[in-house]
Structures are given as C-alpha cells and as structure tokens.
Amino acid sequence: MNDATTYLVTKEYLTVELGRLMTKLDERFDKIDERFGKVEKSITGLDAKHETNLARSQKFMMATILGTSLTIVAMQFATLLVVLGPLLTAGG
C-alpha cells in the first residue's frame, strides 16, 4: 500500500503545476503577439511605401503622356507649316 500511495498526485500539486504551465503558455503567447505586432508594423510601413511609389509612378506616367501628346501636336503643327507654309506665303 505504501508503494501505491507514493505515486499519487494531490489536487494542490496539480493546481500548482497547471498554474505554472499556464504562466509559461501566457508568456509564449505574449512573445508571439509581440512578433506579430512587429510584422504588422513592417507590413504597414511597406504599404505606405508602396502607396507613395504608386503615386510617384502615376505622376510620372501622366507627365510622360502629356509630354508625348504635346510633342505629337507640335510635330503635326510643324508638318502643317512645312506643307502649307509655301502656299500661304505664295498667295500673299
């Protein structure tokens, strides 16, 4: 009977061990939450950089389109002057 009671666990022992394990588990979850917080902050920073780069790219594209359009209009006007210029000066 003495050997049989040697391996018995009391309710108090289980309560203490469960509390200790819960504390360890809480600490680990706190560390995981901290890591996720850092990742989330990093992603937010990347999103902001992406939005800034996107806005810059859009402005660059619009400036390029506008510049190209103005160049085409100027070339058409120059072509008209070359073609119609002699006719306009000859008639006067």
Note the pLDDT tens digit of each residue in 68-85.
999 999 999 999 999 888
* Residue 82 covered by a domain: yes
**Residue 9 to residue 75: CA distance in whole angstroms:** 95
**Residue 69, domain extent:** 10-91
* Residue 46 covered by a domain: yes
pLDDT of 4 reads 65
Confidence of residue 18 (pLDDT cuts 50, 70, 90): very high
Q: What is the 3-state secondary structure (H, E, C) of 11-71?
A: HHHHHHHHHHHHHHHHHHHHHHHHHHHHHHHHHHHHHHHHHHHHHHHHHHHHHHHHHHHHH
* Residue 57 covered by a domain: yes
* Residue 2 covered by a domain: no
* Residue 77 covered by a domain: yes
**Residue 41 to residue 33: CA distance in whole angstroms:** 12
**How many structural domains are present in the chain?**
1
pLDDT of 14 reads 92
Q: What angle do CA 82, 86, 91 make, to 5 degrees?
A: 145
What's this model's pTM, rounded to 2 decimal places? 0.51
Confidence of residue 63 (pLDDT cuts 50, 70, 90): very high
For residue 86 the two structure tokens come to: 């002699």
* Residue 28 covered by a domain: yes
pLDDT of 92 reads 52
* Residue 30 covered by a domain: yes
pLDDT of 8 reads 76
* Residue 70 covered by a domain: yes
pLDDT of 17 reads 93
